[in-house]
Structure 1
Amino acid sequence: MFSNKKLLTNKVSAAVLLALASTAVNAAESDDELMEEVVATASRLQGSAAAVIEERKSQAFVADLLGSEQISRTGDSDAASALKRVTGLTLVGGKFIYVRGLGERYSSTTLNGANVPSPDPTRKVVPLDMFPSGIIENLSVQKSYSPDMAGEFGGGAIDIRTKSIPSEFVFKLNFGLGYNSENSDDGLSYDGGSSFLGEDKSRALPETVRRNVEQYGVINESILASTLGDADKAAQIVDETVLAFDNSNHIQPESLDPDFGFGFAVGNRFDIGEDTVFGFLLASEYDNSWSNSKERKVRFDTADVGINAIEDKKILSTEHEVELSNILNLGLELGKDHKFETTTIFLRNTRDKVDLEQGDDFDYDANADVYGILYEQRELITNQIRGMHNFPSLMNLGVDWQFSKSKATRNAPDEREIVYLPLQGEMALATDSVTPSLTRFFSELEDKAETFQWNATLPIYLDSAEIELKAGADFSKKWRTSNGLFFQYLSKFTPAETGESNYLAGNIDEVYTDEVLTSDSTKFQQLLRVDDYIAARMLDAYYGQFDIFFNDKYRLSGGVRYEDWRQAVVPIGFEDNKKKALQPTAISEEEFLPALSFTYIMSDEQQVRLGYGKTLVRPDLKELSPVRYLDPLTDNPVFGNPDLKVTEIQNFDIRWEYYTPTSDNLSVAVFYKDLTAPIENVQLPGADESNVSFINAQSGEIYGTEIEWMKSLDFMGDGFDRFFFSGNITLSDSEIVIPDQYSYFSLANQALLPITKDDNAYVTNPTRKMTGHSEYVVNLQLGFDSYDGEHTASLVYNRFAERIMSAGIDRMPDLIESPFDSLDAVYTYYPTFETKLTFKVKNLMGDSQEFTRNGEVAEAVETGRSISMSFSWEL
């Protein structure tokens, strides 16, 4: 293919330049009179960006790329924070990327081109904070659709490309320290026995509890007495179950330690025979961090006189996070025409969170103290094997293939909520027969995926044209299981019936003795509430694509993709006190998805692209399941909707690009997307506005322009040639129209219930901007590279416009996320050729995250400023 030829030419040119530089250095060492010094005039960023820019230029479809050196310049620690620097991308919750104002459901994420499962129970895309920057070679964001990509394409497709086999021996060590300004205050800790690697097996569901649940069903004394016909046996089972738990609290104040981390990488390649090369790369990183945050949450209610605040809480939250990443790459080259590679990746992220909510609580009708304890462990294991083959005797036919097998898990054992209420002048455990003093939740999720892909490429060279014909297939399977168990501790009496001697005052560690837990004053029970479901999806896809380059000026690319997609979700409910599979929700479709791109190359420095593509966004597994689950990003309850339909999108793009030999560049893009039946999240009927579900809107559209640049400041005079200014701005608008009637699934009724525009539960704003859309996104960077190459510095700024996070109902205003001004500073010093010292300061402006309803603060989070230092040594 001509694009591959261009890349090969660039690689050869780079090799020639390196050889010439090496020769010059050797000559300087042997003859100081001829040459005393060789000085590189290009900045580090410009030099590293050259290869990335060349690949971007050679793409047939509109795409943006971010190289490892660019990620290093901005000091971003993971893929999520790095991607927010790309034009038109915004970061939500530190984990998920919105592309061109469309939510994370409208973007897909692949790892080295293969789909990966997600450990997030509420989203189909893998949280991007799980991928540390140390294993990333570059990030690709394709914004216009091509047939060799999966048809689930909305705002864009993100491909995380990991580091591959090195060209020579490499050995690297690094370590770092960090501190957050909010950590100067004492935090909260839960002594759950977490290990150095973040694992905490002490909170696992006790075997006795698991056995009793499997044998007897719901652990509830009255239900068991009825089903067993033996009240004494029922009481014995309940007592045995409650005593099997660790019923202590362990929450205590604690000063937070500094953050720290370390890592290493080693790799090499060896000639093991004639025309046979073997190589490997092994890398590992460990990061241990603590953070305090101060939050405020306000809950509103609608009334005839307007919007009233019915709850106002202050929250102190402490998180301890441990991240571990390992990557092993193996490669085998058989001559010039056959290459095999394997990639094994293990990622683990554990989060220990303790928070204290204080203030008016609407649910408890009191000034309550509510403690929350959460331990969450997410893991992703991926094994990939791929081959690349060229057959010169078959007209240089190229064939590549890949098989990927992945498993993602999320385990959140013993998530607790402890409620203290004012009683007779003291804060006591909730002591009425309705309010639970302690709630515990055990949840497990496992997501597996298998993908097999192959592509065949045939280049054809004519006098005035180069043609590439491409065909391929993609077969993928995905399975998911989600399980949850809920337990609560209630009192068998109300405060009005108690005397001063027997209400549960004091710390839970002192109050919940074995005697109290098995006495007549305490009621322990498993809740008749299930978040369980089993789901699977299968996709068979085939595509054909052409790429024609003629007269050195025009490029026409396009093709069509056929997809056969099937998906089924089986929710789990109760029957006769035992779990039972309920009515499954199944959906399937076949679709042809065309795409076309035209590029006009005006000169070596300028080109214009036009693109069109038809794509889809399908409901995810959990979104079709009529169960309740918690969103770990917001802690809000989410309810599935089996009535969801597939969204169809018509995508249009045009982009002008200008590049200079010094890597200065400028691009201007215009895009438009027309959506049929887009999926939106809306508030559900009821008193709690945090309960949300999904519906299909009637229609939606989004359009805008993107401007991106990088410019040396040499025009400003002597010395300014070491400075550069880069950035991007996205300006866009969107509109979504909600139909006059839509349905939601009611757990209470176990049925779909309609909502019309005449109902109080109907959305407040049926015509509005799309959820998650920002009217503008700004990324700016001012960089400096010293003449001697020993110092680099960057100021990096990011800001997005306000965006709707969830739509209100019954005159309740939409929940709006306010703009956040992020200003970071990064300085790097290179004492020697092998060493690097980096200082980073994040959130210099000390901005806070804020959400509002009708201009009133609904939630605010203070995260503080953070400072870190890292040192690396590389051979």
Structure 2
Amino acid sequence: MKRLLLTIVHVIFCLVAMAQYDGSIRGTVIDKNTKETLIGATVTLKNQSKTFKTSVSTGLDGSYVFRNVKPGKYEVEAKFVAYKDDDKEFELKAGEVKIISLQIESKSSDLDEVKISGKSDEGSDYKSRSIERKSDQVLNAVSARAIEISPDLTIANVTQRVSGVSIERSNNGEGQYAIIRGMDKRYNYTLVNGVKIPSPDNKNRYVPLDIFPADIVDRMEVYKSLTPNLEGDAIGGGINLVLKDAPDRLTIRANVAVGLAGSLFNQDYTQFDHSASAKSSPRSVNGNGYSATLADFPNNAFNYSTKKAPISTVFGVSIGGRSTDKKFGALAAVSYQNTYRGTSTVFYDTDVDRATNEPALKSVQARSYSIQQERTGLHAKLDYKFNKDHKIDLYASYMNLAQNQFRFQSDTTLNLGRVGMGTGRVSNTYRSSRIVQQIFSTNLHGEHELADHLDMNWSLVYAKADANEPDRASLNIVTGRTAILDAGGIKIGATQNPALFNSTGAAQSHVWAKNSDEDKTAYLNFIYKPKIADTKVEFSVGGMYRDKTRTSSYDDYSLRLSGSTTQVYDGNINNNTFMVQTVGGSPSDPLNYNFKEKVAAAYAQFKFTIGKLQTLGGVRYENTQQDWVTSANVNQTVGAIGSKKYDDLLPSLNFKYALGDKQNLRASYYSAISRPGFYELIPHTGGDPDADYQELGNPNLKRITSDNYDLRYEFFPKQLDQLLVGVFYKDIKNPIEYALVNQATSVFYTAANFGNASNYGFEVDFTKYISKFGFRANYTFTDSKITTTKTVLYRDAATTSLTQRNEDQTRPLQGQSKHIGNLSLLFKDAKSGIDAQVAAVYTGPRIYTVSPYLDNDIWQKGTITLDLSAEKKVSKNFSVYIKVNNLLNTPSELEIRRPYQVTASTINQDVANQTVGENVFVRKDEYKQFYLLGLRYKL
């Protein structure tokens, strides 16, 4: 044993001694022209006699390392796709650390300037960093590759990874709208290839971003400041989706995946038959004088069935290339996603105590959802270069999001007394709905050099967006539990009542809702680039004209029981008999309307660079003309017919100072507006089945205006590393927010202008890569202030009568979180083909609903979400990947920031989710995890 130990010690000593004589070689691979590091380049080390050879790939910072290399003469060689090889010979001494950097040259000449337009090579992280550095405005860019390896399936979820951006989720837990720097979705617009597109949303102007599958996008840009040549209705900012462009050589990419929602592991998925539902209402098909019959309302929507853990599927393919002379390019891409999810919700309908102004609970609702989403994206682009002076391109895109949703809601009235919780009237609602949203957009675009220093470009755009909800069908059931009392009136038990259709109310409701936006837009721009006093100056002038037509139709039908007695619902609707109660639909509802909007714009812009300072400025003029006609009775409904016209002059000025080759200091100012939504201006009542309160239109809304200031420092030390630090301030006039208002005995949720507001904050965005590891983090602090008048309800001490007074209250803007943060840990090894990341997002508390009563606003609680994705290359062309969303099962929760109190009506009662002394619980939505496993092919 002693001899064995001595031998082991001797061997270890010899190995250590030998290691001390081994050396190492390290360095970086750099683009010879741009001096940028190259990621994934292959570096090969071989000795002079060719008997030894080994290879590694450069890491995320362009570095490589060879360890434990014996002394001798060697050659190190670097290879990279589309680059010329480079090698160096050297001699390594014992124990030496040799630093060798290799500079390789691109086989093709580089562009002098990176333009913000779709380019085939701009799907990389490097191109996104270049665009951020060279752009004329403050923006953030996310590359196609970053999107591809992220945990996200839709563009809506991708936006939350950008500094200063949070998302508003739909009822299935997926992101739907972006909130930029605390500015609600109404303050932002969406562009496709730089052109604004209409929205299929029945309420909002701006596009629901969950309609875009992530894999058809070449790059996503988030604008945080505007220049005069951009449309001016983006106080918060804009999101530009650059769709895929034709590559220089034949390229084929495809992926297929299967997924499963964690919420459906232990919960059945409920589905219904929507095939027999009429696409249009009986009135729309047969005319206003038609009386609907039972034959117009088949029972197929109420024939429910369940299945266990349905499998979600994802498929995508793109193919494109250019002709041998590079003049003609073509690309086509298709993406299809079919996902299933289940969510659950608990919601307390709240009011305010008339004597204390404290929150009061009216009822509690339990909701469960089964949601299927079919998302289809089609994109095609053709371009032709006649010569170096003239080129033309045509692109068309089609997005479709079809959602089938079943919702069961149980609504319990909180009539709490001595008999306690768990008894009383319960209203159950079964609802089946199918909503199909579509966006079609086509753009014919040309670029021409008319003369030396004079260019022209133009675009003719036709786009149409629509949403159709055919036959949203609901069943309304009444049930409950009756208390069993002892002789002293104390509850000792309860009996379950049968499920009944109410003989006096609407047993069934059927709603048809349809809207469309049709845009016809023309753009024309001239750019003149003279040289004045040895300084290159760029003058741009141009204009835009858009003719928008929005139409909306709405019909609501009610069916009641036939006969005067109640009927038991046993789960089979075919066993019950009904009669049509509202036979004519809703021909006079204001949601039947036509809305015309014409926007004419012109701008003048200049740009020049003196020394290290680039200056860009100018002014934009926009004229807006709006006219609408509803089917409501003009004599009974204010605003049934309306018209608005206004002009806006929107100046802007942007400075960019180059502190060095890789550092910029930016300062910008721009003026912007935000127009009210069509749905908000129309004097409607109701219309949103998922609203917690009845909605009310407001034809008196004014447009919002704002002056916006930005200051940002940028540092790009390496190809992918960056440090962005910025501050911003917005002075907002007439902001629009939704609030609860009282009219007579009813409470409505309506949009209104609220005086003036300010919004300011700062952002830090940091990315660092070390060899195979990466660290990406951003943090945004935002603080906004708006002062509005609130009502205080109380009982007058002198008269003991119920009364009220008004007080001013300063609060944040609706939807604004004070703190937003992202943290991603990344790993990339080109040699093994592994690419992985863990991404966390923090969204701080924000106001969800503004209350008319002092200190009774409803807040969304802060959340931390954690997602994971990984990809492994298994061959030259194939890789497998996995995505997991919401690892922490983070719910969405609402509360009123007032302590829940025991009152005379709740004494000795155990109200679920409410804790005495803690904030009043309002709502909780649970989504659970979503898992996806896929295969990716690249040629």
- Give the structure-2-normalised TM-score: 0.78
Deviation at 1:812, TM superposition (A): 7.0
Deviation at 1:473, TM superposition (A): 1.0
Deviation at 1:43, TM superposition (A): 5.7
Deviations 1:777-797 (A, max 9, x none): 101111111251511111101
Q: Does 1:72 align with 2:143?
A: no
Query: 2:935 is matched with which residue?
Result: 871
- Rounded to whole Å, the distance in 2 between the matches of 1:863 and 1:119 is 25
Opposite residue 249 of structure 2, the aligned amino acid is: E
Opposite residue 867 of structure 1, the aligned amino acid is: Y
Opposite residue 215 of structure 1, the aligned amino acid is: G
Given that 1:536 and 1:621 are in contact with CA atoms closer than 8 Å, whether structure 2 keeps it comes out as no
Deviation at 1:491, TM superposition (A): 4.2
- Rounded to whole Å, the distance in 2 between the matches of 1:559 and 1:594 is 6
Query: 2:407 is matched with which residue?
Result: 355
Query: 1:420 is matched with which residue?
Result: 477
Equivalent position SS for 1:626: coil
Relative to structure 1, the CA distance from residue 144 to residue 681 in structure 2 (aligned partners, 3 Å threshold; closer, same or farther) is: same
Relative to structure 1, the CA distance from residue 201 to residue 468 in structure 2 (aligned partners, 3 Å threshold; closer, same or farther) is: farther
Q: Does 1:473 align with 2:491?
A: no
Q: How does 1:182-197 map to 2 (within 5 A)?
A: 182-193=263-274
Q: How does 1:581-620 map to 2 (within 5 A)?
A: 583-620=640-677
Relative to structure 1, the CA distance from residue 540 to residue 11 in structure 2 (aligned partners, 3 Å threshold; closer, same or farther) is: farther
Query: 1:300 is matched with which residue?
Result: 350
Deviation at 1:640, TM superposition (A): 1.7
Query: 1:214 is matched with which residue?
Result: 288
Deviation at 1:503, TM superposition (A): 3.5
- Rounded to whole Å, the distance in 1 between the matches of 2:803 and 2:676 is 27
Given that 1:697 and 1:739 are in contact with CA atoms closer than 8 Å, whether structure 2 keeps it comes out as no
Q: Does 1:177 align with 2:258?
A: yes
Deviation at 1:711, TM superposition (A): 1.2
Given that 2:673 and 2:704 are in contact with CA atoms closer than 8 Å, whether structure 1 keeps it comes out as yes
Opposite residue 75 of structure 1, the aligned amino acid is: P
Q: Does 1:541 align with 2:601?
A: yes
More helix by share: 1
Give the root-mean-square deviation of aligned CA atoms.
3.3
Relative to structure 1, the CA distance from residue 792 to residue 368 in structure 2 (aligned partners, 3 Å threshold; closer, same or farther) is: same
Given that 2:220 and 2:239 are in contact with CA atoms closer than 8 Å, whether structure 1 keeps it comes out as yes
Deviations 1:52-87 (A, max 9, x none): 111111112211111111112322111111111111
Deviations 1:382-419 (A, max 9, x none): 1111112234xx22322221111111111101102211
Equivalent position SS for 1:56: helix
Query: 1:204 is matched with which residue?
Result: 279
Query: 2:926 is matched with which residue?
Result: 862
Query: 1:565 is matched with which residue?
Result: 624
Equivalent position SS for 1:833: coil
Query: 1:735 is matched with which residue?
Result: 785
Deviation at 1:315, TM superposition (A): 1.4
Opposite residue 337 of structure 1, the aligned amino acid is: D
Equivalent position SS for 2:887: coil
Opposite residue 393 of structure 2, the aligned amino acid is: E
Opposite residue 827 of structure 1, the aligned amino acid is: A
Given that 2:56 and 2:831 are in contact with CA atoms closer than 8 Å, whether structure 1 keeps it comes out as no
- Rounded to whole Å, the distance in 2 between the matches of 1:204 and 1:597 is 50
Deviation at 1:737, TM superposition (A): 2.0
Q: Does 1:254 align with 2:307?
A: yes
Deviations 1:216-256 (A, max 9, x none): 4xx4xxxxxxxxxxxxxxxxxx5xx2233203511233323
Opposite residue 214 of structure 1, the aligned amino acid is: N
Opposite residue 277 of structure 2, the aligned amino acid is: S
Q: Does 1:162 align with 2:243?
A: yes
Aligned with residue 378 of structure 1, among 415, 425, 437: 437
Which structure's CA Rg is the greater one? 2
- Rounded to whole Å, the distance in 1 between the matches of 2:296 and 2:729 is 59
- Rounded to whole Å, the distance in 2 between the matches of 1:548 and 1:523 is 67
Opposite residue 250 of structure 1, the aligned amino acid is: N
Q: How does 1:499-648 map to 2 (within 5 A)?
A: 503-507=567-571, 509-513=573-577, 516-517=578-579, 526=585, 529-551=589-611, 553-574=612-633, 583-631=640-688, 634=691, 637-648=694-705
Q: Does 1:813 align with 2:856?
A: yes
- Rounded to whole Å, the distance in 2 between the matches of 1:173 and 1:74 is 17
Equivalent position SS for 2:218: strand
Deviation at 1:458, TM superposition (A): 2.2
Query: 1:484 is matched with which residue?
Result: 554
Opposite residue 302 of structure 1, the aligned amino acid is: V
Query: 2:117 is matched with which residue?
Result: none
Given that 1:441 and 1:487 are in contact with CA atoms closer than 8 Å, whether structure 2 keeps it comes out as yes
Aligned with residue 432 of structure 1, among 503, 516, 525: 503
Relative to structure 1, the CA distance from residue 871 to residue 589 in structure 2 (aligned partners, 3 Å threshold; closer, same or farther) is: same
Tell me whether 335-344 or 625-634 shows the greater mean CA deviation.
625-634
Given that 1:704 and 1:731 are in contact with CA atoms closer than 8 Å, whether structure 2 keeps it comes out as yes
Q: How does 1:231-246 map to 2 (within 5 A)?
A: 241-246=293-298
Q: Does 1:133 align with 2:214?
A: yes
Relative to structure 1, the CA distance from residue 416 to residue 657 in structure 2 (aligned partners, 3 Å threshold; closer, same or farther) is: same
- Rounded to whole Å, the distance in 2 between the matches of 1:269 and 1:805 is 50
Deviation at 1:841, TM superposition (A): 1.4
Given that 2:639 and 2:683 are in contact with CA atoms closer than 8 Å, whether structure 1 keeps it comes out as no
Given that 1:140 and 1:159 are in contact with CA atoms closer than 8 Å, whether structure 2 keeps it comes out as yes
Relative to structure 1, the CA distance from residue 103 to residue 165 in structure 2 (aligned partners, 3 Å threshold; closer, same or farther) is: same
Relative to structure 1, the CA distance from residue 535 to residue 529 in structure 2 (aligned partners, 3 Å threshold; closer, same or farther) is: closer
Deviation at 1:510, TM superposition (A): 3.2
Given that 1:573 and 1:582 are in contact with CA atoms closer than 8 Å, whether structure 2 keeps it comes out as no
Relative to structure 1, the CA distance from residue 374 to residue 428 in structure 2 (aligned partners, 3 Å threshold; closer, same or farther) is: same
Q: How does 1:788-867 map to 2 (within 5 A)?
A: 788=831, 790-811=833-854, 813-854=856-897, 855-867=919-931
Query: 2:466 is matched with which residue?
Result: 409
Given that 1:568 and 1:621 are in contact with CA atoms closer than 8 Å, whether structure 2 keeps it comes out as no
Given that 1:488 and 1:525 are in contact with CA atoms closer than 8 Å, whether structure 2 keeps it comes out as no
Deviations 1:442-471 (A, max 9, x none): 111111112211222222346763322111
Given that 1:420 and 1:427 are in contact with CA atoms closer than 8 Å, whether structure 2 keeps it comes out as no
Q: Does 1:449 align with 2:519?
A: yes
- Rounded to whole Å, the distance in 1 between the matches of 2:805 and 2:598 is 35
Relative to structure 1, the CA distance from residue 326 to residue 359 in structure 2 (aligned partners, 3 Å threshold; closer, same or farther) is: same
Q: Does 1:59 align with 2:59?
A: no
Query: 2:336 is matched with which residue?
Result: 286
- Rounded to whole Å, the distance in 1 between the matches of 2:637 and 2:662 is 65
Aligned with residue 363 of structure 2, among 311, 331, 339: 311
Aligned with residue 100 of structure 1, among 163, 177, 181: 181
Query: 2:109 is matched with which residue?
Result: none
Deviations 1:557-601 (A, max 9, x none): 10111111111122221599xx99974221111221111111221
Opposite residue 64 of structure 1, the aligned amino acid is: N
Equivalent position SS for 2:263: helix
Query: 1:5 is matched with which residue?
Result: none
Given that 2:732 and 2:758 are in contact with CA atoms closer than 8 Å, whether structure 1 keeps it comes out as yes
Opposite residue 427 of structure 1, the aligned amino acid is: P
- Rounded to whole Å, the distance in 2 between the matches of 1:508 and 1:812 is 47
Opposite residue 335 of structure 1, the aligned amino acid is: N
Aligned with residue 458 of structure 1, among 519, 528, 539: 528
Opposite residue 260 of structure 1, the aligned amino acid is: T
Opposite residue 295 of structure 2, the aligned amino acid is: L
Given that 2:724 and 2:766 are in contact with CA atoms closer than 8 Å, whether structure 1 keeps it comes out as yes
Given that 1:678 and 1:698 are in contact with CA atoms closer than 8 Å, whether structure 2 keeps it comes out as yes
Equivalent position SS for 1:146: coil
Given that 2:246 and 2:322 are in contact with CA atoms closer than 8 Å, whether structure 1 keeps it comes out as yes
- Rounded to whole Å, the distance in 1 between the matches of 2:616 and 2:590 is 50
Opposite residue 231 of structure 2, the aligned amino acid is: A
Paired residue total:
788
- Rounded to whole Å, the distance in 1 between the matches of 2:276 and 2:214 is 29
- Rounded to whole Å, the distance in 1 between the matches of 2:547 and 2:32 is 40
Q: How does 1:80-91 map to 2 (within 5 A)?
A: 80-91=156-167
Equivalent position SS for 2:631: strand
Dislocated runs of 4+, deviation >6 Å: 14-18, 31-36, 44-47, 362-365, 522-525, 579-582, 687-690, 759-765
- Rounded to whole Å, the distance in 2 between the matches of 1:793 and 1:156 is 31
